[in-house]
Chains A and B, each alone.
Chain A
Amino acid sequence: MTAPLVQATDLGFSYRGAAPALADVSFSVEAGRNLGIVGESGAGKTTLLRLLLGLTRPTMGTLSTNGVPFDAGDRAALRSHRTFAQAVFQDPYSSLDPRQNVGRIVSEPLRSLRLESRASGVHERVAAALTSVGLPADAATRFPHEFSGGQRQRIAIARAIVARPRLLIADEPVSALDLSTRVRIVDLLSSLSADGLTVVVVSHDLGTVAALCEETLVLEKGRVVEQGPTASLLAAPAHPYTQKLLAAVPRLPKR
């Protein structure tokens, strides 16, 4: 049996002098099974995301990737973690440098991780990444302000996948987008995950998680209150907090 992409065991984190922001969090991410991390403000979603990205080291518990313990304090390990996991953030307006053209933005991981030294190689991989997110290859020569919010999010996704990571960690990837654009980005993430990428989505929106993730983990006040396959979790939420979250989602009038 192959090791899971990510294995978190009793993961915890306390900011200095404060009560734990995250405690006793255990889960695994299997290749090909997208995970949705659901919770409201203060649930610990962002802290967990920082741990997964290696931006912060856990103060308790362990994190393994591909069966190997991951230490975000080790520079070499962190470097290889960057080729393993990449991130997409909520706001496509603040996550792209306005002074760089799209080609330069998208190629950044290739350059900083020194994955491709030939200019023609960089060019090809950027063009391929832009194509796979549904943008024209000539987008590379243009600047972020020339694109709409949904297109900017596609650029951010292209940057995240250009180095061919195994894991894409998306923090509220569609919350800042208009509804019609939202579904297209969900579709895009879904088609990328059909193509060998595994996606971890951090979101407060259960609809997005339901559409995209096979597995769901519900966080409340830094602790996991419920986790399991999304279908059974939504069909029969066991924890009162999950029930409350689900009941709070505004629904369309029934057909």
Chain B
Amino acid sequence: MSATAASATAATDPSGLVVTDLTIRGASGVALVDGLSFAIAPGRRLGIIGESGSGKSLTALAVLGLLPEALVGTGSVRLSGHEVIGTAERALVPLRGSEVAIVFQEPLTSLDPLMRVGRQLAEPVRRTAARSGQKLSRAEVLDRVREALVEVSLPDPDRIASAYPHEISGGQRQRVAIALALASRPKLLIADEPTTALDVSVQAEILALLDRVVADRGMALLFISHDLAVVSRVADDVVVLREGRVVDRGSLAVLIDAPGSDYTAELVAGARVLDDALDAPGRPS
């Protein structure tokens, strides 16, 4: 599939996320993301694969309308038909949470260290209810906070709710960050390297959790990672980014067998060496 095909989808389907010709420039005018186009229909999943400097995290920030001041985004990012690029901050606030939410690599990025977990979760819970005209009682808020913690498979939700972020483990913090992102019932969840800082067994649990909640809720998922094997756990279709440009796109299973670019071939070969070693340990020749 080419960039043109993605833009064609963009023109015909206004729902979901549609990114068209997104370009992000730094102060010097250098393009950090260059002409990126992709679309995610409601309930669908896309992986972005890229190494450091590929522009994958900037792309996530651009979708949220959170690009740093020094950077300029051009092109178009549409969330359920709402344009994000060039839109005033005040008009973006209602989109964040209800349309799109994000989970970062480091859960402490999104958690307030001075606030108990339960209070942090109560905020989006209350706001989301207010959006649909509901005014929740204290007890109802507590109930929904507990439900939110149960949904991300946290044992003993009452203890977690009354804990400060530093009092729980890294894996538990990432579950809380996911609960926080889910609390405003977004249509699209962006996960930017959500398991990179975690132990391998915790990583497996978080990937299974993301897979389950995204399916349960019928959400769309944009999953960003440098790790092909990790992406393959949650998404079938991927875009491969290198230095801000798309070098490959399509089904990950197909790309792994028949990479469409030298760069993807290099990534696959690298991943294959370490993957094969697990079946047949030995030093690479």
Given A251-B229, A252-B228: A183 touches B281 (CB 8 Å cut-off): no
On chain A, the residues within 8 Å of B130 by CB distance are none
Count, A-B residue pairs, CB within 8 A:
106
- Once the chains are docked, how many angstroms separate the CA of A241 from the CA of B279? 18
On chain A, the residues within 8 Å of B266 by CB distance are 180
Number of A positions contacting B (CB below 8 A)? 36
Contact A190 B284 (CB under 8 A): yes
Given A41-B199, A178-B226, A205-B200: A251 touches B267 (CB 8 Å cut-off): no
Contact B270 A253 (CB under 8 A): no
Taking CB atoms and an 8 Å cut-off, the chain B residues in 239-285 that contact chain A are: 252-253, 256-257, 266-275, 277-284
Given A186-B274, A250-B207: A40 touches B284 (CB 8 Å cut-off): no
Q: How large is the interface on B (under 10, 10 to 19, 20 to 34, 35 or more residues)?
A: 35 or more
- Once the chains are docked, how many angstroms separate the CA of A250 from the CA of B273? 14
Taking CB atoms and an 8 Å cut-off, the chain A residues in 198-253 that contact chain B are: 204-208, 210-213, 230-231, 234, 244-253
Q: Is B35 an interface residue (CB 8 A)?
A: no
Of A194, A234, A249, which one neighbours B281 at CB under 8 angstroms? Answer: A234
Q: Is the interface of A mostly helix, strand, loop or mixed?
A: helix
Q: Is B204 an interface residue (CB 8 A)?
A: yes
- Once the chains are docked, how many angstroms separate the CA of A204 from the CA of B226? 17
6 pairs of A and B residues whose beta carbons are closest in the complex: A207-B274, A210-B277, A248-B204, A211-B277, A250-B229, A40-B199
Chain B contact residues, CB within 8 Å of chain A: 51-52, 170, 199-204, 207, 226-230, 232-233, 252-253, 256-257, 266-275, 277-284
Chain A contact residues, CB within 8 Å of chain B: 40-41, 149, 178-180, 182-183, 186-187, 190, 193-194, 204-208, 210-213, 230-231, 234, 244-253, 255
